[in-house]
Structure 1
Amino acid sequence: MTDPTDRRLLVHDGTFAALDAAGDIHGHRGTSPDGLFQHDTRHLSRWLLTADGAPLTRLTADGDTAVLTPPGTRDEPPRYTLWRRQEVSDGVLRERLLVRSNSAADIRVALTLEADADFADQFELRGDDRHYDTPGAVHAVTCSAEGAVLTRTRDTWRVGTHITGAPPADTVDQAPGSTRLHLRWELKLQPGEQTTITLTARPEHPAARPLPPAGPLHVAHRPATSWPELEHACRQGLADLESLRVPAAGADGEALRPPGAGIPWFLTLFGRDSLLTSLFALPYAPELAAATLPALAAVQGTAHEETRVEQPGKIAHEIRHGELAHFGQIPYGRYYGSVDSTPLFLVLLAAYTDVAGDALARALEPHARAAVGWLLTDGGLRDHGYLVYRSGDAHGGLVNQNWKDSAGAICFRDGTPATGDIAVAEAQGYAYDALVRTARLSRTVWDDPAFADLLEAEAAELRDRFTRHFWMADEEFPALALDGEGRQVDALASDAGHLLWSGILPPALAATTGRRLMRSDFFSGWGIRTLASGQRPYHPLSYHRGSIWPHDNAIVALGLAKAGLTAEAHTLARGLVDAAALHDWRLPEVMAGYGRDEHPTPVPYPHSCSPQAWAAATPLALLSAVGQGPTAAGEAAA
């Protein structure tokens, strides 16, 4: 289904290069920006290789290497072949050009690399008609015998890109009136002779800091199943999770590498995304959780700050390092607009303790207690009865602060958006699970039975009132949310499946909900839609009102298994594994909501990230949900 030659993506340790199949960068914006990116900044917006003043022809591209030639014919084949190998490692784009003569006579080749850096903040590239003023910004170029340095300065902000060649270019010049560079090599090759040029582009960024080299992701338990397609998707997922790790620091400055959320827009530490990714991967790669938990503890909220929605004990939603965040033009430098990151932090901490022992739970006890404090106070459990949020759009933040964070995603069946202090269903389930699990930690690790009793009582009361307030008896299905007036937000949405996973619904209601999610208005054949079709706000190409998110489905699959709906879990897993096979085993962040009966392959969602961390971890969650493979899955799907 997908054509991997359309784009090449090189990723390592928080730096990535998005290139075309020939290895070039053109400076695209919008849904698929290209460039060399580090810390939310585009450090190369142009990187074009030409020979003798003309583009090269790509013969093939595989992995990190493209094979290129000048134009040729059957009677006059190309005079030479160029192998262009590129990699990103240690924050640097490295390129090796090997030019080999195919001619029986001496030849000359004039190679030119055209390079530039716009140093755009990723928020400027999104194609959503946003404009940000950057007064006083200055771009400069310094050329030398070794190469050139491109820089951008603005008050206290400075970023740069250092470009070098070995051997050095014969000439380096700057285009008049711009920062565009031309590095030229004049090559002379005898018959059959070859020569090599090595290029580097090294970003300079204020957020960068020296780190020990990133080792491979340690996989404690290799995914194994008699379902080969699922196993293949799991292997691809683990490979992507290794590449998506980003540098971060713990509370004591220790170097950590938690999973970033995804490429191109979210290769940074997130709360919800990094936590759920680590939960899905926990049975197989607990190292991710061991990095995510202390990294988020290090940036846990300590004060009340309205613009970034910070509150004491609250776990961050995302951490950004770009120019716009530095100058406060967006609130996302350290942003806390997430109602669910805090309970998920507690859920992961307890789950990790079950797998890896209690050392981390002991070390993070103050952070866990602060997180519980947020649930009960600023989070809203005691004042409102539920975790609630209010739209953050007044400060340029997120309108909705659950995982469906787009405007209009939390809506009534007639499409009217919910307003006021909103209590979304799945966050209450996470809170319930967090209270239950943290009570166990308190009793068995922290030796504080009184605190455990308190948390267990809070959990029991939350579960009781949740069923009374959220269950829609006429639909036999839970409401998506309660709005600020306590009304049930009655759109039928996939969030209900999360309640099976958290255990907040009584068993009978959980089974009813799980079966309802597998009816055709929800289940497309590839996965469960975020919003059931047939409702007024449903749209198959909406971000959160009809699309299909693999991670959302992974949580539902885990919930179906927990509720004893084994056949339903297998059917759902089969749809997602089939979709993965049609995406070269890499599930995208999101797919369009069209049914399998409408189109034989999943219809892409135009703005989807890939690779994306919780989508990469989805096959691992599916394996945890279904355990065994093709026989059971085939019977369930039949």
Structure 2
Amino acid sequence: MTAADDRVQLVRDATFARVDAAGGISGTRGTAPDGLFLRDARHLSRWHLTVDGTEPVALVPAGAETDDTALSVLTPRGTRDNPPAYTVFREQGVSAGMLTEHLRLVSNRPVPVTALVEITVGVDFADLFELRADDRHYDKPGARREIHRTDDGVVFDYRRADWHSRTTVVGRPAPMGLDAAPDAPGARTLSWQLRLDAHGQADLHLTVHARPHGQTSAAPTVARPRRRTSSAADDLTRTCERGLADVDLLTIPVVGVDGETAAVPAAGIPWFLTLFGRDSLLTSYFLLPYRPETAAATLSALAATQGRDHDPVSGEQPGRIVHETRHGELAHFRQIPYGRYYGAVDATPLFLVLLHAHYETTGDRAVAVRLEQHARRAVDWMFADGGLDEHGYLTYRPDPNGLVNQNWKDSAGAVCFADGTQAEGPIAVSEAQGYAYDALTRTAELASAVWQDEPYAHRLREAAASLRTRFASDFWMREADFPALALDGRGRQADALASDAGHLLWSGILDQELARRVGQRLLRPDFFSGWAIRTLAAGQKPYHPLSYHRGSAWPHDNAVIVLGLARHGLAEQARTVADGLIAAAAHHGYRLPEVLAGYDRTATARPVPYPHSCSPQAWAAATPLALRTALRML
């Protein structure tokens, strides 16, 4: 698949690579870093081909034949009177922990020739967090690098205290030379003298093996379900098929609650190819009618990482569901808090929502029985550390070393007043209260029907009813006739008009009349761009169409809203939003991006992409399945 900056991105088995139009890697950083990546680290930061001392140019730029394979056609530079001596057909692919490359040199000369082929290889072992465009620097005391020549290639080792990563490059045939690269400190140039007969050809096969810290054997693969491609031509079907293919690409192996391997959807590429609480939960919920096994795997993986102790650095608390897990060097040495980071107010109630939804959809009691104690601990967290007992709502305090906001709009400034001021904690965001209400209601049903604990069910139903009444009183803004985005630490209504209100329709915390008014309001032009509902209504002071959470439009956010519209019988509104999203997908090769810019559909012939969007991204990939479910409800 092709990235937005014309680089090509290849993905398979929790491994991804990004190369330029000629198949090279130059070690870029920022929005779209290139390289070979596995477990939050870059295992190849330079991959530069020359033939007879010159860099070949792309006659056919690298293009994805499949999601994990790219082809390009290159030649040394020539002129009309002196055409190139060779044509290079380059095929690259990724699989679990590997990049493979096949170079086929074809001679264009009528006499035998010998081609000098050189590949310059560099490995920086950079942590993904070092590659972000935020100018942060992380000290690495005692780090050392070693490079060893082997009979058939070269090995790059990186050590720091108990941390050890390795990248191995193997050539067939074996390289004739290995030299330091004068223009790339720490890199090595492998060379081959390849003989080509008159109009003949020669082949060179290269394999790059990434061995992250803690992985002693080959990277695990994930079994994928066989997908059938429909002959139907409608855009929703095509978008669903592309979405399922992307979910497959993002599926990674994670250890489940009983030590089994659970195949779960990671959040997205390039930054989030790892288990994420709310992302994996909502993705699994969207897929539930079609792939219930994904929900079961996600629930098991999150139960395995459920909080047990109090840790102020990671935000861990007993019963809390993890926000994200990381496997890189910086997390290992706790230079970032994200090894297991629990800074999410919504993952815990969403865990409970998915647990009941899985039982409701499949009728299978086994998962609910297996995870009963985990569910009860999640409920305990909502009342205790989550804030229901103390504040009457699920709340969070901004984490200065982690996430300022701990709902799905987790960027700084996203939970704001109409004047753009960030709310201060403890913050109670509106959609999290809806999730809490739904979680309490659904867990009460599990307690009654599966766990045979009617007193517990009664307690949860009473708590849910009280929360629903309290919410309608405290969050409804009479003048705006709309729910507040949040309550701040002083109980003030954060009065920015935000799409979070649509999640309240999905959770059922609003009565039918209030839900109807919210649904109709979300379809007015300041909210609905024609492609999707914006995160903030246009015209407000903090609105910006290219802001991450203050004016852009997110497909998954809209999917939740469409499910809520369908729940309340708002058929016209649900179909309008679904049609806009499907039309947007058609302009992106039937792949919905993570985020769309908030510009109105009348302003451009196609949706404007958000410049830092992940692609593929799990809950965007699952969005068309949620739309299909909602449309079937109407």
Same fold (TM over 0.5): yes
The reply to whether residue 314 of structure 1 matches residue 315 of structure 2 is: no
Deviation at 1:608, TM superposition (A): 1.1
> Residues 301 and 316 of structure 1 are in contact (CA less than 8 Å); yes or no, is this contact kept in structure 2?
yes
CA distance in 2, matches of 1:242, 1:124: 28
The reply to whether residue 195 of structure 1 matches residue 202 of structure 2 is: yes
C-alpha offsets along residues 43-72 of structure 1, whole Å, 9 cap, x if unaligned?
111111121111222222332211222234
Match of residue 496, structure 1, among 501, 509, 519:
501
> Residues 3 and 9 of structure 2 are in contact (CA less than 8 Å); yes or no, is this contact kept in structure 1?
no
Q: 1:113 aligns to what SS in structure 2?
A: strand
Give the residue type in structure 1 aligned to 2:373: P
Identify the residue that residue 67 of structure 2 maps to in structure 1: none
Match of residue 230, structure 1, among 223, 229, 236:
236
Match of residue 108, structure 1, among 105, 114, 117:
114
Deviation at 1:75, TM superposition (A): 4.9
CA distance in 1, matches of 2:31, 2:450: 47
CA distance in 2, matches of 1:615, 1:53: 45
Give the residue type in structure 2 aligned to 1:54: T
Give the residue type in structure 2 aligned to 1:367: H
Q: 1:543 to 1:203 in 2, by over 3 A?
A: same
| Farther-moved stretch of structure 1 (198-207 vs 322-331) | 198-207
Write the mapping of 1:79-90 to structure 2, written as runs, cut at 5 A.
79-90=85-96
Q: 2:147 aligns to what SS in structure 1?
A: strand
CA distance in 2, matches of 1:598, 1:567: 24
The reply to whether residue 351 of structure 1 matches residue 352 of structure 2 is: no
> Residues 223 and 231 of structure 1 are in contact (CA less than 8 Å); yes or no, is this contact kept in structure 2?
no
Deviation at 1:440, TM superposition (A): 1.1
> Residues 527 and 550 of structure 1 are in contact (CA less than 8 Å); yes or no, is this contact kept in structure 2?
yes
Deviation at 1:438, TM superposition (A): 1.1
Deviation at 1:159, TM superposition (A): 1.1
| Farther-moved stretch of structure 1 (582-591 vs 264-273) | 582-591
Q: 1:258 aligns to what SS in structure 2?
A: strand
Q: 1:249 to 1:178 in 2, by over 3 A?
A: same
Identify the residue that residue 480 of structure 1 maps to in structure 2: 485
Q: 1:54 aligns to what SS in structure 2?
A: coil
Identify the residue that residue 215 of structure 1 maps to in structure 2: 223
The reply to whether residue 552 of structure 1 matches residue 557 of structure 2 is: yes
CA distance in 2, matches of 1:163, 1:490: 57
Q: 2:259 aligns to what SS in structure 1?
A: coil
Q: 1:72 to 1:627 in 2, by over 3 A?
A: farther
Deviation at 1:160, TM superposition (A): 1.5
> Residues 117 and 192 of structure 2 are in contact (CA less than 8 Å); yes or no, is this contact kept in structure 1?
yes
| Farther-moved stretch of structure 1 (150-159 vs 238-247) | 150-159
Identify the residue that residue 8 of structure 1 maps to in structure 2: 8
Give the residue type in structure 1 aligned to 2:178: V
The reply to whether residue 627 of structure 1 matches residue 627 of structure 2 is: no
CA distance in 2, matches of 1:76, 1:436: 77
CA distance in 2, matches of 1:609, 1:468: 38
Q: 1:5 to 1:483 in 2, by over 3 A?
A: closer
> Residues 239 and 590 of structure 2 are in contact (CA less than 8 Å); yes or no, is this contact kept in structure 1?
yes
Q: 1:227 to 1:486 in 2, by over 3 A?
A: farther
The reply to whether residue 92 of structure 1 matches residue 98 of structure 2 is: yes
Deviation at 1:212, TM superposition (A): 5.5
CA distance in 2, matches of 1:226, 1:516: 34
Write the mapping of 1:519-530 to structure 2, written as runs, cut at 5 A.
519-530=524-535
CA distance in 1, matches of 2:203, 2:361: 50
> Residues 315 and 342 of structure 1 are in contact (CA less than 8 Å); yes or no, is this contact kept in structure 2?
yes
Identify the residue that residue 581 of structure 2 maps to in structure 1: 576
Gaps of 5+ in 1: 633-638
Q: 1:3 to 1:201 in 2, by over 3 A?
A: closer
TM-score normalized with structure 1 length = 0.95
Q: 2:241 aligns to what SS in structure 1?
A: helix
Identify the residue that residue 390 of structure 1 maps to in structure 2: 397
CA distance in 2, matches of 1:99, 1:447: 70
Q: 1:311 aligns to what SS in structure 2?
A: coil
Q: 1:627 aligns to what SS in structure 2?
A: helix
CA distance in 1, matches of 2:621, 2:479: 37
CA distance in 2, matches of 1:299, 1:126: 26
RMSD: 1.8
Deviation at 1:73, TM superposition (A): 4.3
Write the mapping of 1:192-591 to structure 2, written as runs, cut at 5 A.
192-208=199-215, 210=217, 213-217=221-225, 228-356=234-362, 357-393=364-400, 396-591=401-596
| Farther-moved stretch of structure 1 (100-109 vs 25-34) | 100-109
Identify the residue that residue 636 of structure 1 maps to in structure 2: none
CA distance in 2, matches of 1:141, 1:247: 30
Q: 2:353 aligns to what SS in structure 1?
A: helix
| Farther-moved stretch of structure 1 (114-123 vs 143-152) | 143-152
Q: 1:333 to 1:5 in 2, by over 3 A?
A: closer
Aligned positions, number: 624
Identify the residue that residue 597 of structure 2 maps to in structure 1: 592
Q: 1:392 aligns to what SS in structure 2?
A: coil
Identify the residue that residue 62 of structure 1 maps to in structure 2: 63
> Residues 5 and 21 of structure 1 are in contact (CA less than 8 Å); yes or no, is this contact kept in structure 2?
no
CA distance in 2, matches of 1:87, 1:191: 30
C-alpha offsets along residues 144-200 of structure 1, whole Å, 9 cap, x if unaligned?
221111122111111121111111111112236821110111111112322221111
Q: 1:274 to 1:209 in 2, by over 3 A?
A: farther
Identify the residue that residue 168 of structure 1 maps to in structure 2: 174
Deviation at 1:218, TM superposition (A): 5.5
> Residues 207 and 321 of structure 1 are in contact (CA less than 8 Å); yes or no, is this contact kept in structure 2?
no
Q: 1:383 aligns to what SS in structure 2?
A: helix
> Residues 96 and 220 of structure 2 are in contact (CA less than 8 Å); yes or no, is this contact kept in structure 1?
no
What percentage of aligned pairs have identical amino acids?
57
> Residues 218 and 287 of structure 1 are in contact (CA less than 8 Å); yes or no, is this contact kept in structure 2?
no
Give the residue type in structure 2 aligned to 1:217: P
CA distance in 2, matches of 1:494, 1:152: 46
Identify the residue that residue 158 of structure 1 maps to in structure 2: 164
Give the residue type in structure 1 aligned to 2:367: L
CA distance in 2, matches of 1:5, 1:28: 12
Write the mapping of 1:137-148 to structure 2, written as runs, cut at 5 A.
137-148=143-154
Deviation at 1:21, TM superposition (A): 2.5
Q: 1:131 to 1:571 in 2, by over 3 A?
A: same
Give the residue type in structure 1 aligned to 2:409: K
CA distance in 2, matches of 1:559, 1:227: 27
Q: 1:203 aligns to what SS in structure 2?
A: strand
CA distance in 1, matches of 2:315, 2:103: 49
Identify the residue that residue 635 of structure 1 maps to in structure 2: none
> Residues 143 and 173 of structure 1 are in contact (CA less than 8 Å); yes or no, is this contact kept in structure 2?
no
CA distance in 2, matches of 1:73, 1:11: 37
Deviation at 1:4, TM superposition (A): 7.2
Deviation at 1:101, TM superposition (A): 2.3
Gaps of 5+ in 2: 65-69
